[in-house]
Amino acid sequence: MTKALGRVVATERKPNTPHEFHFWTSLDSPVGIGTIVRVDGAHPVEGVIPRIYGIVVEGFSYTDLQTPMHDVLSHDGIPSNAGFAATERAEIRLYSAAVLRQIPEEPLQPVPMGEVFLAEERDVATALRMDSYLKDGANTGIPVGVYRAGATDSVIYLDADFLLGPEAAHLNISGMSGLATKTSAVEWLLSSLFAHFPESKGSVAAVCFNVKGPDLCFLDQPGTNLDDRDLDLYEKMGVKPGPFENVTYFAPYTAKGFGLNTLRSNEALMGNVKPLTWGLREVLQYAEVLLNKDDIDAKADALIDFITERVVDRRFEQDSILTRDHTVQSFGDLENWFKDLLRGMERANAESWRTHHIATIRKVRNRLSNISTRCAGLVTDTGDVSDLPFGSFEDRAVYVVDVATLEEDAQDLIFARIVSKLREHLERRDLGVKHLVVFVDELNKYAPNDGQDTYVRKMLLDIAERGRYLGLVLFSAQQFRSQVHRRVVGNSGTALYGRMDGDELATPGYSILSPATRTKLATLEKGQLMVRHPHFTQPIFVRFPRPAVMQGRDGAEKFPQAADVSLEHALYRSLRTVDPGVTVAWVRDLVALYDEGELIAARNAAMVAKPANMRGFFESRLRKKIPAQPAFNAGLTPRETIPARSLPDDDPYGL
Amino acid sequence: MGHRAGVISSAERIERGSWPGSAHEARRFILERLPGSCPVEGLSAEADRYGRAEEPAVLITPTIIEDGPFRAIRVAEVDSPRGGTGFTGFLDGTQKVEVLAHDNGIPILWATVSAAVRTRVDRRMIAWPGRNPIVRSAFYVPLKYVTNLKDDVRNHATTVDTSAASSADKVPSRHPAALREAAIKKIQYSRERAELELAEAWCASEPGVLYVDGSLTGSRLSSESSHAVGVVKSHNRIYADGEALDVLIGLRAGERTSVFRPPLETNRFSVASWYVRVRQAAGHDALFGLVRVEAALSTHVAARADEISRWIIAEGSPLALPDGRWDKMAYGIRDTEEFLRAIQ
């Protein structure tokens, strides 16, 4: 039997209520803000001794002094004299606790007087109603961290049904930047989710958008900074302290198109990095993302619809204006179509074509052509598509889309299209997994609570409000929760808070927290979180271990970004990932024969097709060119050629 | 009905014949057992003025037992940080008096006397584990003048007859004020007995020195023990006259007077006594910060007086504010009073 550490007290001025009570403790008790306690009532109610569980939300300390002046007088105005006083003044530690749970739950009464105990592990489970989802055979608990107070070390579980749906869903994390809270917490939670998500609930995967720096670029590499305390936490929570085993990275090419536009470009890590490229068809579906309202009036919108429906991917026959038939499959084809159309209209001195005014056609051409420039590296002129494996997502796999170094337009396009595709596939139940977590950082940028309504914000709202029915779950993070659209954060069943900025805590959204809880939030250590979850009637403070994956900064040091490479080197590196038989000499010959654009287009196509015969496929994508044959010496058989003289090292002609 | 199991109302307790536990219960109880009596409500605050019987203000010439004339002796520098102290426990008692009813003007009182010792561990005060605090409640009734009081109260072991003859063989008159005065003296005596009971228990068992708020002379054991020191804050009786009074009034902070022996009274025991000025009196009345100390007589009484005086001065920090007697009261005594208030 543990010893009581406090006693409930109530006065007329400070009475206990069904939702709050007060107790005092000895000066050396381990109680603090966030400590969970248990009150054992003294008298039975309907034959049952009431038990009340509460969490400390406020603390008070005072002495029997009536005014501070008395203390000044006590020590003759000299603070150091206090140390010589024979007796220390009587002092109290008085705490206010918010009720987590009362047993029996009915009749709901004010908290009675009684002894206060530090909650033990079993008490914590009862207090947080975790007992309802940690049953043998129906355990849906996902460890989020460990609650610590005194000798109690208790794992806090989230309910998978309320984290990934269908009861509630979504998770939102707030915290100051640079304190290893948001990204670390998500990495840890994904590890825990993959380790504990019940098989009976189906498969789960994650798509993470890496929006800044190298944060998520090394999820498949082991962490180097775990200490014994972290390992203890991993062991206690039953999670293997290792990196993610199945991670695939996606990144568009750089604007030049030689290499991938990602901080994870070190050659040693390229095995699971795949290009992300889209063509005209993929982009036109989401033109709204890239074209703002000023660009798209009703007339322009009609023309874009016409192009999407009637022009793209079908044979568009010659008419009185167009000089030839067109099959538009890429931005290049579309540009040729526009050119032919506009020349024809100029030739015919026509002001409109099929009800579309020439000015509208010029405007749409200008805006659409511009997309491939603005999103160079992502959008290809040739129409080659390299995409996430929609339809064959794997269980417990992480797909990281690195958009950290892209322009905002390209980021928005990537985000909008991928999430839309995920949603489509989940609706059809053919994504490959039953549940999908989408992690988006910097949510205050993508779903701000003010500013104009963007396509991306609409999509995030849609996920937040309807995603749980599909198994599409949003894990989002931001520095300032108050700046995020409240329907997005409001629909997050679970919320985690790291150390918060004082200004942020002063916003109305935090007014439900006591001043002491807000103070604790403002001073949280690394590795500490405040957790709100539908089962918990009050926020709980937990510790979580450092993620067992290499942190972005460490990874960037260990695997530095590849320097800008030549076209020859870039082709060699790319093609070798598909066919190790590719040689430098073969690539060099091709580079000498063909222009850059043609080679990059062929490379992109090869990376998508991943042909068994790489050389054959690659060469088939290039225009036929007959390389110069060495001259035969008269009188010699063709095989008896005279070897060419080697070039001098300092060949002044660059041959 | 409507009450928690195991808890009974005060009315039920009285019906079952339980002895009252509070003044409120006591009033209901006595009205049932003293037919025709009238309740007196709301006198608990007013009753404070009956809390202690005032002694007449007199000057008494003491017998000096320290070498030399009655003089001021410096024992400590109060401007410098206060020194150490040898007190390890503090004893105080309180009394709470209520006039419950009157029977043809005869006052019926209910009083609770209490006493406790608090010990100091690591500079913090805790209840003395050696003996529980004493809390005793009783009816104070002039039985001679109250004829129709039921026997269970009249014959109850705790009921105190305030019309019994005092030590001077004087039976108080039927004057209500005289009866009240007689009751207060009995209550005061009960409190003193409770205090001395604890003081004796301390002296018999503890190695440290007990700071007793009040006189030691009521107990032989306490008055002869080196483990108890009495500190008297009230000065209705001043043991100095003539030049000695001038010395006393002129005593400065950190000084004590010569040691003297107060005249022996009936049922009292002899002690060594002296005055100490704990705080500077400048700007205050003449008795500000002045206490009279009582300790066992010993052969080295002067050295002992110096030592104990220094301890008492050291106990002046922290101040016993907000108590109105803070100039004379040690913080340990204030703590004990607060403790008694909490448990009464």
Q: In which residue ranges of chain A is pLDDT below 70?
A: 1, 180, 292-296, 383, 625-655
Please tell me if residue A46 touches chain B, with a CB cutoff of 8 Å.
no
B317 to chain A: closest CA residue: A85
Note whether A86 contacts B4, CB cutoff 8 Å: no
A47 to chain B: closest CA residue: B5
Residue B323 pLDDT level (bands cut at 50, 70, 90):
confident
Residue in A174, A252, A169 with CA at minimum distance from that of residue A209: A252
Name the residue among A44, A45, A85 with its Cβ closest to that of B318: A85
Q: Estimate the crossing angle of helix A567-578 against helix A584-593, to 10 degrees.
A: 130
Q: What is the CA radius of gyration of chain A?
A: 33
Helix (H, G, I), strand (E, B) or coil at A235: helix
Q: How far does B283 lie from chain A, in Å, by closest CA? A: 15
Q: Given strand A273-275, what is the order of strands in its sheet?
A: A152-159, A141-149, A540-543, A528-532, A494-497, A171-174, A472-478, A435-440, A204-210, A398-402, A247-251, A273-275
Note whether B82 contacts A84, CB cutoff 8 Å: yes
pLDDT tens digit sequence for B186-200 = 999 999 999 999 999
Q: How far does B3 lie from chain A, in Å, by closest CA? A: 10
Burial class (CB in 10 A: 0-12, 13-18, 19+), A371: buried
Note whether B318 contacts A74, CB cutoff 8 Å: yes
CB A267 within 8 A of CB A560: no
For residue B99, the tally of other CB atoms under 10 A from its CB is 24
pTM: 0.79
Please tell me if residue A64 touches chain B, with a CB cutoff of 8 Å.
yes
ipTM for this model: 0.73
Name the residue among B124, B321, B338 with its Cβ closest to that of A88: B124
Note whether B317 contacts A71, CB cutoff 8 Å: no
Name the residue among B79, B81, B338 with its Cβ closest to that of A90: B338
Please tell me if residue A49 touches chain B, with a CB cutoff of 8 Å.
no
Note whether B120 contacts A66, CB cutoff 8 Å: no
**How many interchain CB pairs under 8 A, A with B?**
72
* Residue with tokens 């074209």, as numbered in its chain: A291
Name the residue among B4, B6, B120 with its Cβ closest to that of A87: B120
Q: How far does B337 lie from chain A, in Å, by closest CA? A: 12
pLDDT at B178 over 50: yes
Q: How many CA atoms lie within 13 A of B181 on its CB side?
A: 13
Note whether B319 contacts A84, CB cutoff 8 Å: no
DSSP-derived secondary structure letter, A81: G
Q: What does DSSP say about strands B209-213 and B228-232: parallel, antiparallel, or unpaired? A: parallel
Please tell me if residue A653 touches chain B, with a CB cutoff of 8 Å.
no
Please tell me if residue B123 touches chain A, with a CB cutoff of 8 Å.
yes
Please tell me if residue A644 touches chain B, with a CB cutoff of 8 Å.
no
Query: What are the Cα distances from residue B97, in Å, to B48, B91, B135, B188?
Result: 7, 20, 13, 10
Residue B332 pLDDT level (bands cut at 50, 70, 90):
very high
CB A320 within 8 A of CB A340: no
B322 to chain A: closest CA residue: A66
In angstroms, rounded to a whole number, what is the distance separating the alpha carbons of residues A572 and A283?
A: 29
Query: What are the Cα distances from residue A21, in Å, to A57, A113, A566?
Result: 10, 9, 71
What's the pLDDT score for residue B24?
84
Please tell me if residue B120 touches chain A, with a CB cutoff of 8 Å.
yes
What's the pLDDT score for residue B8?
46
Q: How many CA atoms lie within 13 A of B255 on its CB side?
A: 16
Note whether A80 contacts B6, CB cutoff 8 Å: no
What's the pLDDT score for residue A176?
86
Note whether B321 contacts A70, CB cutoff 8 Å: yes
Please tell me if residue A113 touches chain B, with a CB cutoff of 8 Å.
no
Q: How far does A450 lie from chain B, in Å, by closest CA? A: 56
Name the average pLDDT for chain A.
87
Note whether A71 contacts B318, CB cutoff 8 Å: yes
pLDDT at B257 over 50: yes
Mean pLDDT throughout B25-43?
A: 83
